[in-house]
Structure 1
Amino acid sequence: MAQVLEFRLPDLGEGLTEAEIVRWLVEVGDVVAIDQPVVEVETAKAMVEVPCPYGGVVTARFGDEGAELPVGAPLLTVAVGSSVESAGGGVDEDSGTDSGTDSGSGNVLVGYGTGAPPVRRRRVRPEGLKAAVAVSVAPAEAAAPAPTPEPAPALGPVAVVSPLVRRLARQHDLDLRRLAGSGPDGLILRADVESAIRSAAEAPVPEPAASSSPAGERVALRGVRGAVADKLSRSRREIPDATCWVDADATELMAARAAMNGAAGAGAPKVSVLALLARICTAALARYPELNSTVDQEAREIVRLPQVHLGFAAQTDRGLVVPVVRDAHARTTESIGAEIARLTEAARTGALTPAELTGGTFTLNNYGVFGVDGSTPIINHPEAAMLGVGRIVPKPWVHEGELAVRQVVQLSLTFDHRVCDGGTAGGFLRYVADCVEQPALLLRSV
């Protein structure tokens, strides 16, 4: 006997509460295997594929591509059981692989599966799908049809079942109690809300137009942009930050980089300036561990962290992200550079996982790639400091007592004044600048 089971958007971890549907990987009528990815979603941190814990035939999908769903909202329903397999000649196969129709793995976390082999798309033709689904529908944990709501009194509950309809109404400041639903027993549908939005847009504006907010294009703060806004706002509220900066002669650093890349030979990965600066940061944090810390505000304690997980700011088409190089303190310059290159490519393609975007203890921000010299960046909460690096450009510089043209860079350190005072911050920044001017100083800390 077949059962129709409902799969809801799982908790994707890292405090994420919603996700946007980017691309459906299955269609209604497709046969899916346990833990087969069925939809690609975008969270505030990354793009992830969501696996389905059931094996069977997809009977419904909820949400169009581009729709935003809260955690716990229905994603799709799957018919499982013997009648799916016995739906006559109703299966079109792209491969002979068995789909598996076990009740499910019980596993709905992204990236964790039972290890079942991947299955190519199989589809049940409409007549077979109807026969399978018509057998029975499992109550409770399965997808029981939504109860038909009673007509809502003027001050009672609103006749809305879909959370997307409620969200759409909130985004456009619509009072759902003023809408007449066109669904069964007055159920308010998405079409009713969209119709009300169009009517409001076409309505004449009274003169004089009294508006509490300025007119103009409105862009929703959601996804990566929304997550960045929330984090930066929290950082400004909670962290008493201060910034110090210094100009440094980077001529010797650039010469050292050229020598390293020349010695590596043709075809070998090139050492980037960012990798060199990251290695300098780890050496400086070993000397000034106060800056590799976080503050437990409730306990009123500074927590100094034993490992350096180095984040670096990366601008992508989706917005600003900060991938994290794990255990940077234990890596060589070449290892740091290889990991930065890997994470940068993953950021560019939207393939970073939430784990690769969290857990940083210190951030390196190379805003020089935007052609600017200086900045006072906002600390990446809950970290305690961020090193900013401007562009490296030829400038007049006094070198060995004479005026010369040298490669000069401005370095800035924004730090949490709760974890240290200016003397510590200045010592850290001065050590970084000294290593930039004399890279051989790093040999003392190897």
Structure 2
Amino acid sequence: MGEVIIKMPDVGEGVAEAELVEWHVKPGDPVREDMVIAAVMTDKATVEIPSPVDGTVIWLAGEIGDLIAVKAPLVRIETAGGAGEAQPLPSSQAPTAEVVKAEIARPAPAAPVAATPAAAAPPAEKPLAAPSVRLFAMENGVDLRQVHGSGPAGRILREDVEQFIVQGAAPALVKGGSAKKTATEEIKLTGLRRRIAEKMVLSTSRIPHITYVEEVDMTALEELRATMNGDRRESHPKLTVLPFLMRALVKAISEQPEVNATFDDDAGIITRHGAVHIGIATQTPAGLTVPVVRHAEARGIWDCAAEMVRLADAARSGTATRDELSGSTITISSLGALGGIVSTPVINHPEVAIIGVNKIATRPVWDGTQFVPRKMMNLSSSFDHRIIDGWDAATFVQRIRTLLETPALIFIEG
């Protein structure tokens, strides 16, 4: 018998530690060669860690959400062969895809040695279940610690909770037939949700936001959009408002380049960018990500639309690369039909501006002689007040408004 130690791989880009976001095994579980045993996250990339050998897990480094240093022991596996050490992946070979498999070198053969006991007892286990299952359990007054999980690595499934309710005592009912809900649940921030929280704290603590809201008459643009969608080629994606806004941003930035900038707080340096790399805030099953449409200044309406669709699909499927999720110079935030009337978008640090799109609604507008129905939309935009004055912020948004209200201007060169 022997022991193999798997260390945290080096995923490159100067990363010193990675966060544990998922265990696929627990102490005592048998593992096979190439079986995924853990997933770690750094920046916005998730790396799956496979086992290099057949054996039995005898020790895990920590709990979900813990930060583990690169090259630190991650898993210990008892094997039938000799002891060894699985080397971390060199940074020159670090993975670049959003979800990739870390290739870990196999240990060199060695003479059989006695199994080494685990250096420390495994951490106390918490119920492993998806957020939807946790919510279902909480709504039904079920303590997940009492439920046996039938999923991989003991994960608790919805069916396990349903079976527990059927087999166990039903929750006590109060007058009127409703169940008392007394359960509480502590949820540790991990993975992408933790990254989002850290980024929001960084942005709001360092950037003094000024938010400017402007009303835009979208009637003419909506008519143009409907016409273009009706005449579009089969290979073209359906146009939303965002590609028009992207092109309007490019033209407005050409007149006010200070808005297309990033600010290094520590060095006190503003960098104005000639390229317009537009981040599109996108909701995914894992949380909010910001894929980047690069060089929007060199793209037309249809090209902007196609690239935006491609990146959104990649972000939602978890296949977007690091390069596709970084490097934006200005960001658009839109909730589409759920956009509300007004919002206060948080700037994507270290950028200095973010444009928030609210929903389009038909409202009565006074044209000088009577009220007429018009399709109206608000733009709620935030700016770094250290860099952008209120006057400049208003001028920038009003220029965008003019372009959207007279969409032919968007297509005029120069």
* TM-score normalised by L of structure 1: 0.64
* CA deviations over 1:235-256 (Å, ceiling 9, x no partner): 1211111111211110111122
Query: Which string of whole-angstrom CA distances, capped at 9 and with x for unpartnered residues, describes residues 316-369 of structure 1?
Result: 332222222222222222222122212222332333344433222211011343
Which of 356, 360, 367 aligns to 1:388? It is: 356
SS in 2 for 1:71: strand
Q: Which amino acid aligns with 1:17?
A: A
- Stretches (4+) displaced over 6 A: 78-81
Matches within 5 A, 1:32-431: 32=34, 38-39=36-37, 41=39, 43=41, 46=44, 48-50=46-48, 57=54, 60=57, 63=60, 67-72=64-69, 73-76=72-75, 106-107=89-90, 110-111=94-95, 135-136=112-113, 161=120, 164=123, 217-266=185-234, 268-399=236-367, 402-431=370-399
AA aligned to 2:242 is: L
Tell me, yes or no, if the aligned pair for 2:334 and 2:356 is still in contact at 8 Å. yes
Q: How far apart, CA to CA, are the structure 1 residues paired with 2:224 and 2:212?
A: 26
Structure 2 distance, partners of 1:340, 1:42, is 28
Judged with a 3 Å threshold, the aligned counterparts in structure 2 of structure 1 residues 40 and 342 are, in CA distance, closer, same or farther, namely farther
Structure 1 residues 274, 144: closer, same or farther in 2, change over 3 A?
Answer: farther
Alignment partner, residue 10 of structure 1? 9
Q: Cα offset for 1:402?
A: 4.9
Q: In 2, are the aligned partners of 1:283 and 1:442 still within 8 Å (CA)?
A: yes
Distance verdict in 2 for CA 1:299–1:269, change over 3 Å: closer
**Is the contact between residue 212 and residue 382 of structure 2 (CA under 8 Å) also seen in structure 1?**
yes
Q: Which amino acid counterpart does residue 290 of structure 2 have in structure 1?
A: V
The answer to whether the 8 Å contact 2:61/2:73 transfers is no
Cα distance in structure 2, aligned partners of 1:238 and 1:163:
39
Return the letter of the residue paired with 1:10: P
Give per-residue Cα distances to partners, 1:165-221, cap 9 Å, x unaligned.
Answer: 6999xxxxxxxxxxxxxxxxxxxxxxxxxxxxxxxxxxxxxxxxxxxxxx9643323
Inter-partner Cα distance in structure 2 for 1:393 and 1:369: 9
> What is the deviation of 1:399?
4.5
State how far apart, in whole Å, the 2-side matches of 1:232 and 1:106 are.
Answer: 31
The DSSP-based 3-state class of the residue aligned with 2:343 is coil
- 3-state DSSP class of the match of 2:303? helix
Amino acid corresponding to residue 50 of structure 1 in structure 2: E
Moved more, 385-394 or 55-64: 55-64
Contact 1:6 1:77 in 2 (8 A): yes
Question: 1:358 and 1:145 mapped to 2: Cα distance?
Answer: 43
Rate the CA distance shift 1:445–1:55 in 2: closer, same or farther, 3 A: same
SS at match of 1:392: strand
SS of 1:252 mapped into structure 2: helix
Q: Pick the aligned partner of 1:31 from 21, 30, 33.
A: 33
Cα deviations by residue, 1:369-396 (Å, 9 ceiling, x for unpaired):
3141111112111110100111011111
How many residue pairs get matched?
342
Specify the SS of the correspondent of 1:17. Answer: strand
Q: CA deviation at 1:41?
A: 2.3
Unpaired runs of 5+ residues, structure 1, are: 85-102, 120-131, 138-142, 148-160, 169-214
Partner of 2:133: none
Separation in 2 of the partners of 1:283 and 1:314?
A: 23
> Matches of 1:432 and 1:395 in 2, distance apart?
21
Aligned residues of 1:21 and 1:69 also touching (Cα < 8 A):
no
Q: CA deviation at 1:63?
A: 4.5
Structure 2 counterpart SS, 1:277: helix
Q: Name the CA shift for 1:425/1:399 in 2 (closer, same or farther; >3 Å).
A: same
Q: Partner amino acid for 2:5?
A: E
Q: Deviations over 1:281-321 (max 9, x none)?
A: 22222221111112222332222123222111222332222
Q: Percent identity?
A: 32
CA shift for structure 1 position 400: 7.8
Give the residue type in structure 1 aligned to 2:68: V
Moved more, 429-438 or 38-47: 38-47
In structure 2, what is the Cα distance between the partners aligned to 1:163 and 1:305? Answer: 50
CA contact (8 A) 1:46 1:351 kept: no
TM-score by length of 2: 0.69
